[in-house]
Amino acid sequence: MPCHRAMRETSAAEMQVVIRVDEAAVSSMRKKLEATSLEDRHAEQATIFRVPHNIRAIDSLAYEPKIVSLGPYHADNERLGAWDGLKWRYFKKFLNRNPNKHLCDYLEEVEMLALAARTAYSEKLGMDPAKFVEMMLLDCCFVVELLLVQMEEKQQAEMRMGPKWQEASSTFEQDPMISAWRWALPLLAHDVMMLENQLPLVVLRSLLELASPGASLKEPLDYFFRNFPLTINIEKITDDNIKNSPHLLHLFHTCIVPPKSMIAKKSGKDSRPSHTPMPCARELREARVKFVKKEAASFLDISFRGNKMEIPQVWVDDETNSLLRNLIALEQCYPRAGIYVTTYAWFMDRIIDTPMDVALLRQHKIIENGLGSDEDVADVFNKLGKEVIMDLQACYLSDLGQAVTKHCDNKCNRRWASLNHNYLTSPWAIISVFAAILLFLLTIIQTIFSVLSYIKQS
């Protein structure tokens, strides 16, 4: 008891201690609060982001440039700096396109757009203004020249296939500098589509207009976007969309948004998403769902009618993985883009559970495997949706998910799925089932004949 009394006395004494607040600390905090705005205009206007650490940790290489740094985020990377010589060669080639314009003209153009370009990056850049302008000019001219070179090469390749093929010679054959780096073009295309490597599209358009008045990025981008393994709606590469898109990755995203008929949400109580997880491809097949390769303008255009699951074909390799991840990162950082690719990743993760599901989709020409094994493909889709946030009720495939769940919950389909799962999983099991059915039918026939024979004798 004395011990408890002492503890109570100590507590009372501690409660009587007067805490004195440092007035200097209070003054410092007040100044910081006064300087803090409830609105962050810079964050609201930003369109080019660093990939969040939690998303990057799943597959960091998918977000890293392979050859060149574009913009400020990787400007200090020594490994990428080794390729700056290639940038300067492309830059010089771009400047030669218009002999009436000089270096000062291009610098002045970028200086006028420098503030808008800085605002496009989510991080506040500490880079010297003059250095930032030089970087923007070099990198943007490099990208525009890359787009033009690829377009010209493909156009000349098409001419060589025509009746005047002898008169056409490849850009790569004409220019030894470009020919020497031809092997690097797929890697450059990869780097141009990295979220952290994006450049303000307004600067690209302005520089092209200066070098070639009246020219448009529409045709070069038409050729450029065809290089990628994902099916997109090329018709959406319009001058209006180019003008309204902040950068190339966003423009690519604009070209894959599904039709408005798929985006429109149904109203009513049935619009709430089901908490029942969507079955994998093998389970869906057991429930009498037929998989069909769909010819569509976008790889996101998935539909389910009756018992047919129609999915556009997708080629899966390292480039596909990287491009999907950067599109998802864009959606996570820039909510105005929507969650279309994030939803696609969720859907593919649901129907692909094991390599056997990949094999089933390959049989129906929905997946083309460029990775080597079905296990690698399954691993890609099973990791795409990790650490990402999405609202199932707001996603464009929520109605499809409900329709699939309703189909699988049908009693007849459930029984058929149970029969498939328990008795029709292998050729020998199927033979055994049919043998048992045949034996049962023969037994019935024998019984009928026996009864008829007995009646006749009677």
Q: What is the pLDDT of residue 273?
A: 47
* Burial of 379 (C-beta count, 10 Å sphere; 0-12/13-18/19+): middle
87 with 169, same domain?
yes
78 with 215, same domain?
yes
87 with 161, same domain?
yes
310 with 167, same domain?
no
87 with 212, same domain?
yes
Nearest to 111 by CA among 93, 96, 132, 92: 132
State yes or no: pLDDT of 434 exceeds 50. Answer: yes
Q: Which of 204, 229, 254 is the last residue of a domain?
A: 254
Q: Which of 191, 222, 254 is the last residue of a domain?
A: 254
Q: Is residue 378 part of a domain?
A: yes
Q: Which residue has the higher pLDDT, 284 or 394?
A: 284
Q: What is the pLDDT of residue 44?
A: 76
Mean pLDDT (the chain, rounded)? 83
State yes or no: pLDDT of 174 exceeds 60. Answer: no
88 with 220, same domain?
yes
Helices 374-384 and 355-363, packing angle to 10 deg: 110
Q: Is residue 442 part of a domain?
A: no
Question: Can you tell me the distance from the alpha carbon of 327 to that of 329, in angstroms, rounded to the nearest whole number?
Answer: 5
148 with 266, same domain?
no
Q: Is residue 215 part of a domain?
A: yes
Asked if 228 contacts 194 with a C-beta cutoff of 8 angstroms, the reply is no
Query: pTM higher than 0.85, yes or no?
Result: no
Q: Is residue 266 part of a domain?
A: yes
State yes or no: pLDDT of 416 exceeds 60. Answer: no
Q: Nearest 5 degrees, angle CA 244-CA 246-CA 248?
A: 105
320 with 186, same domain?
no
Could you report the per-residue pLDDT of 78-118, keeping only the tens digit for each? 888 888 888 999 999 999 999 999 999 999 999 999 999 99
DSSP tally for the chain: helices H, then strands E:
24, 5
Q: What is the pLDDT of residue 267?
A: 42
93 with 237, same domain?
yes
The stretch 420-442 carries a mean pLDDT of: 59
Q: What is the pLDDT of residue 165?
A: 43
Give the CA distances from residue 455 to residues 244, 373, 443, 458, in Å, rounded to whole numbers and listed in that order: 88, 65, 18, 5
Q: What is the pLDDT of residue 209?
A: 96
Q: Is residue 156 part of a domain?
A: yes
Confidence class of residue 271 from pLDDT cuts 50, 70 and 90?
Answer: very low
Could you report the per-residue pLDDT of 110-164, keeping only the tens digit for each? 999 999 999 999 988 889 999 999 999 999 999 999 999 989 888 887 776 665 4
- Number of domains observed in the structure of the chain: 2
80 with 202, same domain?
yes
Sorted by sequence, the CB contacts under 8 Å of residue 454 that are 6+ apart come out as none
Sorted by sequence, the CB contacts under 8 Å of residue 132 that are 6+ apart come out as 72, 114, 117, 118, 125
Q: Is residue 150 part of a domain?
A: yes
Q: What percent of the chain has pLDDT over 90?
A: 54
Q: Which of 254, 278, 304 is the last residue of a domain?
A: 254
Q: What is the pLDDT of residue 144?
A: 97
101 with 172, same domain?
yes
340 with 390, same domain?
yes
Domain limits at 354? 260-416
Q: Is residue 298 part of a domain?
A: yes
303 in helix, strand or coil?
strand
Confidence class of residue 447 from pLDDT cuts 50, 70 and 90?
Answer: confident
Q: Is residue 36 part of a domain?
A: no
Confidence class of residue 425 from pLDDT cuts 50, 70 and 90?
Answer: low
